[in-house]
Structure 1
Amino acid sequence: MSILFPPALRAGQRVAIVSPARKISAAELAPAIATLEGWGLTVVLGDSLAGDHHQFAGPDELRRADFQRQLDDPAIAAILCARGGYGTARIVDGLDFTGFRAAPKWVAGFSDITVLNAHLLALGFASIHGVMPVLFHQAGGELALETLRRALFGEAFQPIAAPPHALNRPGTATGALVGGNLSLLQTITGTASQASFAGRILFLEDLDEYLYHIDRMLLHLHRSGQLAGVAGLVVGHFSAMRDNAIPFGATVQEIIDRYARLHGFPVAYGFPVGHEADNRALTVGQSVTLTVDEAGGRLTA
């Protein structure tokens, strides 16, 4: 299936910020709005940014209607998801992408927004897995923000490197990028949002999970056949992992290695992608080459 890429942003265009998952405050967004305006963009604030329904940015109906409004508005050139949390999977089935198909636009975010990254790829469209407005100005996140800007404005992909790792599996593979948050990829298995990993470069990251959860989720991806056709695996941040009183007995990297070894693809650990400040933007659907050798791992386009 060919993958369609929305037009690159230009100064003077309008971009919307919405929150399809957890609620957010105006104060948390103010620095990001100033940054986007500094890029020459006009910022439109979605209704969900003022929403407040328990942990969510308003009820499902409000968040869905807000996202739909931005999808359908031809004056909006990109939709930036303000933050993650939980809730995107609750609204995605009610979204109508008819208008989007006629005039695609960039959708950007990560973590819970993996649902949208995968859903759009399943529909045949690229999107951006990258830092969200609530995290634009984390200390140490300067490259993350710059790579998001480059991706939105259609500038050339800059190679991303990871240092050598004892569990790396050498090799070279080329394919379209697919992936994101492991928990969400497992959650959408068997739904309309599931995007195929076959022949593609899969990237994974996660946050605040028990080690046995990581094993269980990877086992599910393996048993459901999703890992069988992977061309290469990029392992990003697995941050703040937890263990039980009785230890699981393996690190997160060792758990990933257990399942990677059941397949023949190259694997590289330690990429700057995920829930840490240095979260480089990846365009889901973009063709890249993964090279893994004694120098470490490299992604090039």
Structure 2
Amino acid sequence: MKIQYPTLKTPLTIGVTAPSSGVEQHLHLLITEAEKQLIQRGMKVIIGNTTWTQLKGRSTTKEKRVSELMDYLLDERIDVVMPPWGGSFLMELLPLIDWDELKKAGPKWILGYSDISTLSFVYTIMTGYASAHGVNFTELSAPQWDELSSKWIDVITCKTGHSITQSSSHYFQSSWEQVYKNPATGFYFDSETEWKVLNQERSNRMTGRLIGGCLNTLQILIGTPFDYVQSFINEYCSEEGTIWYLESVGMDAAKIYRALWQLKYNGWFNKCNGVLIGRAGLYENLGDFTLVDALGDIFDEMGIPVFYEVDIGHVPPQLVLVNGAVGEVIVEEGRGTLKMQFC
């Protein structure tokens, strides 16, 4: 079976809905400024009611969230569903989504990260439709977009049968402190980027069909009716194999190890050709047990390349990775490139 990619019209119309967390009133500036930036670039923006509210860690009730989400996914005017940001409770919507209706509707871009990857990941493995892991809507509130963040437009407008290449950043943002103090001004890069290879004896290149997201939220899917990973691997990745990309926030080395262990022994890494690990947000070692220890204990016996400190996730900037696209990743002297082919 073949992955299907959305076909876009111009000008693009972005639908903003909050299936997880909404935006509290004192941060509404992030929404209005992001809307302004997209309109200035010739796009249209439709903002849903769930975006503007927040209560008990959620934008609103799960019934209202799923209703607006389904409306946006089925609305032919909307090209990209782009939530304001992530959150904690998107999994509540999975049993309420009409997956058969989404399959009938055809592919539509979902773009975001953090808890949004709960949705985009399941969307791809259950339907065979591509989805995108990258910037959230609020991060587009900056008056100028950095090179990696701005790539989302090029990625989602790439046509089936074509390819697109992204390169690693030169610097990343080590702390969100300045962003919180100065909302809607962009990121504050202060640290030099270096993609790292876990085992120098392994290849500095990997190829396979991309799949992944936020480790914190994907882990909870195991054992649920939404764990279609084995079917996805067998039906869509039998020839190319997979490249898994994973990132985390607020997990120490032991928590990352336990989560990866659970994925491994649930068979998620079957036919895996390589793994990309994003820079870990709010990370700590557990005593002398480090991230490198965790990754080695999980992947060394598999004999596959593992690249870490990659531009993915909660420590910006980040690449836009397409679930379902065939990727080729190369790391040389701390610099990395990702080529994705929409096939």
Is this a same-fold pair by TM over 0.5? yes
Distance 1:266 1:138, change over 3 A: farther
Change (3 A) 1:299 1:14: closer
Instruction: Work out whether residues 71 and 99 of structure 1, in 8 Å CA contact, stay in contact via their aligned partners in 2.
Output: no
C-alpha contact (below 8 Å) 2:107/2:130 kept by paired residues: no
Letter aligned with residue 218 of structure 2? L
- Name the CA shift for 1:292/1:142 in 2 (closer, same or farther; >3 Å): closer
Q: How far does residue 139 in structure 1 lie from its aligned partner after superposition?
A: 9.8
1:225 aligns with 2:267: yes
Decide which of 179, 194, 206 is 2:248's aligned counterpart: 206
Aligned to 2:20: 21
How far apart are 1:292 and its partner, in Å?
A: 4.8
Asked if the contact 2:280/2:309 (under 8 Å) is kept, the reply is no
CA distance in 2, matches of 1:133, 1:163: 26
Partner of 1:96 in structure 2? 98
Return 5+ residue gaps in structure 2 as ranges: 169-192
Shift of 1:145: 2.2
Residue 6 of structure 1: how far off its partner (Å):
0.7
**Who is 2:121 aligned against?**
118
Distance 1:56 1:295, change over 3 A: closer
Q: Distance in 1 between matches of 2:249 and 2:142?
A: 17
Matching residue of 1:190: 223
* Residues 47-56 or 214-223, more deviating: 47-56
Match of 1:79 in 2: 81
Is 1:149 paired with 2:153? yes
Give the alignment partner of residue 108 of structure 1, picking from 107, 111, 120: 111
- Asked if the contact 1:110–1:132 (Cα under 8 Å) also holds between the matched residues in 2, the reply is yes
SS of the residue corresponding to residue 75 of structure 1 reads coil
- Assess, with a 3 A threshold, how the Cα gap between structure 1 residues 9 and 208 changes in structure 2: closer, same or farther: farther
- Partners of 2:254 and 2:289 within 8 A in 1: no
State the Cα deviation string for residues 233-261 of structure 1 (Å, max 9, x = none): 11111121135xxx442222321122111
The answer to whether the 8 A contact 2:121-2:211 is kept is: yes
Over the residues paired in the alignment, what is the CA RMSD in angstroms? 2.4
Please report how far the alpha carbon of residue 79 of structure 1 lies from its aligned counterpart in structure 2 after TM superposition: 0.6
SS at match of 1:262: helix
TM-score, length basis structure 1 = 0.89
Q: Number of residues paired by the alignment?
A: 297
% identical aligned pairs: 23
**Structure 2 Cα separation of the partners of residues 266 and 166 of structure 1:** 7
Segment of structure 1 superposing worse, 274-283 or 223-232: 223-232
TM-score of the superposed pair, with normalisation by structure 2: 0.79
Q: CA deviation at 1:141?
A: 5.9
Which among 172, 176, 200 is matched to residue 209 of structure 2? 176
- The match for 2:7 is 7
CA displacement at 1:294 relative to structure 2? 6.0
Name 2:326's counterpart in structure 1.
287
1:48 to 40, 47, 50: 50
Deviations along 1:168-217, whole A, 9 cap, x unmatched? 45323321110111111211123343334662110111111132211211
* Residues 168 and 269 in structure 1, CA contact (< 8 A), matched pair in contact too: no
Q: Which residue matches 1:158?
A: 165
User: Could you tell me which of 284, 288, 300 is aligned with 1:261?
Assistant: 300
Q: What's the CA shift for 1:284?
A: 1.3
Alpha-carbon distance, 1:223 to partner = 1.9
3-state SS of paired residue (2:301): coil
**Are the aligned partners of 1:144 and 1:277 in contact in 2 as well (CA < 8 Å)?**
no
> Paired residue for 1:238?
280
User: How many Å apart are 1:117 and its aligned residue?
Assistant: 1.8
Amino acid at match of 1:107: I
